[in-house]
Chain A
Amino acid sequence: MDVDTTSTTTTSLVDRIVVPGDVVLDLTKMENQTVRLGAGLRQDCDSISVMQAGKLRLSKPNKYWVESSQKRYIPSLEDAVLGIVVDSRSDNFLVDIKAPNLAFLPVLAFEGGTRRNIPKFETGTLIYARVVKANSIMNPELSCTDASGKAAEFGQLKNGYMFETSTGLARTLLSSPTCPVLEALGKKISFETAIGLNGRVWVNGSSPDDVILVSNAIMRSEFLSGTQQRTMVEKLMERLRGN
């Protein structure tokens, strides 16, 4: 494997694969500029170096971040995630969100939640929630309301089918404009999905055939280009309708 020496030349590393240790910006050469750092980047006195392997992205004018995709999820604030209830305590539910620690979901963190109407979630219940507190030393905390206290589609997800993906695919599915595979599926099938940034996707449709088709299409779309995704969806639908 060739050693990448671009960090020693003046070529920009934006939109290229970077690995931990790469120096992407030299702040001594950029005077009087504000640089915003997103995920995966770290300031080391006068240089900005990479902490996480992935693709370096730049959003003009000055926001840099590293896009990476893993099976494991590191909780971050305001992410929408799909969690599975593991246990319930007196003041919160313990929810698994594929993070290093179990997350806490307070029993009152629901729209109109009071001590009298606490939801009864059994072990294994699938929940769509939002991360409200996340740091490296404590268990993350979730909430089933949005910032203003309304339910906003958060809460228990009933029926349907849930499968796991990488965090990168989950982010692609949530990007706008709509991801090609979802657009192609939406033209012919009516279905609903809930996508968790922690790498979990829930699909519900009017018949099991639809649910299976949509789930398979999404799972296969990760490394395909836009046109390849559309072709793949068409082939799947032909196979289903043809039988």
Chain B
Amino acid sequence: MVGMMIDGAGEEADELVTPGEFLGEATQLVAGKGAYVSGRSILASLTGRRTITPPTPGSSDNRSTIEVVGHKAHGAVPQPGSIVIARVTKVMARNASVDIMCVDSKAVKEKFSGIIRQQDVRATEIDKVDMYQSFRPGDIVRALVLSLGDARAYYLSTAKNELGVVSAQSISGGTMVPISWTEMQCPLTGQIEQRKVAKVD
């Protein structure tokens, strides 16, 4: 491991560091994004350029913050409270699995899985929700991230008027038109299918 000793502010701000590389002492610097504290040292957790931010005036701590700015631009990562666009992959009795494609109108660079549970599909009568009448595989939905969930998937919710199915194809293959908050109609055959439809302005 190559150790580089720095003593606070005043060093070059564009040096490339790799994960595990020693950045400074925890007594002299605060670990920001891309850096972490291990014992009494601050080590890098990303590959990127090291930057040092002077302390905010008026704060009790007069240590600078050291951060590692990612070398590559990272794609968006879902955070609790962000609105995501996802495609439904599997519908089961108590939940639906989705693949998250966009976070807050920015496309993701790697695949994230999400789950919409039966109780999070809508706000009213949540124990009478029929997943088959809410989503089908292949639908595009707009959902809200509730939490980071478990190791497998984020927990999402469509329990608002503006959340739900945004675009869906009918059994005949035509892109359906929403006609109410529970129904969409196929323009090719006239058949009506049930979905939890998002109110798009």
Stretch of B32-40, B45-53, B129-137, B149-157 contacting A (4+ beta carbons < 8 Å): B129-137
Asked if residues B132 and A43 are in contact (CB atoms below 8 Å), the reply is: no
Asked if residues B93 and A43 are in contact (CB atoms below 8 Å), the reply is: no
Complex interface bits, B131-151 against A, C-beta within 8 A gives 1, otherwise 0: 110001100000000000000
- The smallest beta-carbon distance between A72 and chain B, in angstroms, is 20
Distance A69 CA – B149 CA, assembled complex (angstroms):
47
Contact partner, A137, options B91, B188, B189, B191, Cβ 8 Å? B91
- The smallest beta-carbon distance between B40 and chain A, in angstroms, is 48
Complex interface bits, A15-44 against B, C-beta within 8 A gives 1, otherwise 0: 000000000000000000000000000111
Asked if residues B131 and A138 are in contact (CB atoms below 8 Å), the reply is: yes
Contact partner, A138, options B132, B188, B189, Cβ 8 Å? B132
Asked if residues B190 and A138 are in contact (CB atoms below 8 Å), the reply is: no
Within 8 A of B (CB), among A126-146: 133, 135, 137-139, 141
Contact partner, B93, options A42, A45, A138, Cβ 8 Å? A138
Within 8 A of A (CB), among B154-201: 188-191
Given contacts A43-B190, A45-B189, A45-B190, contact A137 B136 (CB under 8 A): yes
Distance A45 CA – B186 CA, assembled complex (angstroms):
10
Within 8 A of B (CB), among A81-123: 104
Distance A135 CA – B190 CA, assembled complex (angstroms):
20
- The smallest beta-carbon distance between B109 and chain A, in angstroms, is 29
Given contacts A43-B190, A44-B189, A45-B190, contact A137 B93 (CB under 8 A): no
For the complex, would chain A's binding face be called helix, strand, loop or mixed by DSSP majority? strand
Asked if residues A137 and B190 are in contact (CB atoms below 8 Å), the reply is: no
- The smallest beta-carbon distance between B168 and chain A, in angstroms, is 13
Asked if residues A141 and B189 are in contact (CB atoms below 8 Å), the reply is: no
Task: Indicate if B6 sits at the interface (CB-CB under 8 A).
Answer: no
Please, which residues of chain A bring their CB within 8 A of the CB of B91? 137-138
Task: Indicate if B92 sits at the interface (CB-CB under 8 A).
Answer: yes
Asked if residues B137 and A141 are in contact (CB atoms below 8 Å), the reply is: no
Complex interface bits, A56-96 against B, C-beta within 8 A gives 1, otherwise 0: 00000000000000000000000000000000000000000
Q: For residue B91, which residue of chain A has the nearest CB?
A: A137
Please, which residues of chain B bring their CB within 8 A of the CB of A45? 188-190
Complex interface bits, B91-103 against A, C-beta within 8 A gives 1, otherwise 0: 1110000000000
Which among A42, A135, A137, A141 has the greatest number of chain B C-beta atoms within 10 A? A137
Asked if residues B92 and A43 are in contact (CB atoms below 8 Å), the reply is: no
Asked if residues B131 and A43 are in contact (CB atoms below 8 Å), the reply is: no
Distance A42 CA – B131 CA, assembled complex (angstroms):
24
Asked if residues A43 and B136 are in contact (CB atoms below 8 Å), the reply is: no
- The smallest beta-carbon distance between B88 and chain A, in angstroms, is 10
Distance A138 CA – B92 CA, assembled complex (angstroms):
6
Contact partner, B191, options A43, A133, A135, Cβ 8 Å? A43
Please, which residues of chain B bring their CB within 8 A of the CB of A135? 132
- The smallest beta-carbon distance between A134 and chain B, in angstroms, is 10
- The smallest beta-carbon distance between B201 and chain A, in angstroms, is 30
- The smallest beta-carbon distance between A25 and chain B, in angstroms, is 15
Asked if residues A43 and B189 are in contact (CB atoms below 8 Å), the reply is: yes
Chain B residues with CB under 8 Å of chain A are: 91-93, 131-132, 136-137, 188-191
A-B contact pairs, 17 of them (CB 8 A): A42-B189, A43-B190, A44-B189, A45-B188, A45-B189, A45-B190, A104-B93, A135-B132, A137-B91, A137-B132, A137-B137, A138-B91, A138-B93, A138-B132, A139-B92, A139-B93, A141-B93
New A-B pairs, 19, CB < 8 Å, besides A42-B189, A104-B93? A43-B189, A43-B190, A43-B191, A44-B189, A45-B188, A45-B189, A45-B190, A133-B93, A135-B132, A137-B91, A137-B132, A137-B137, A138-B91, A138-B92, A138-B131, A138-B132, A139-B92, A139-B93, A141-B93
Shortest beta-carbon contacts, A-B, top 6? A135-B132, A137-B91, A44-B189, A45-B190, A137-B137, A138-B92
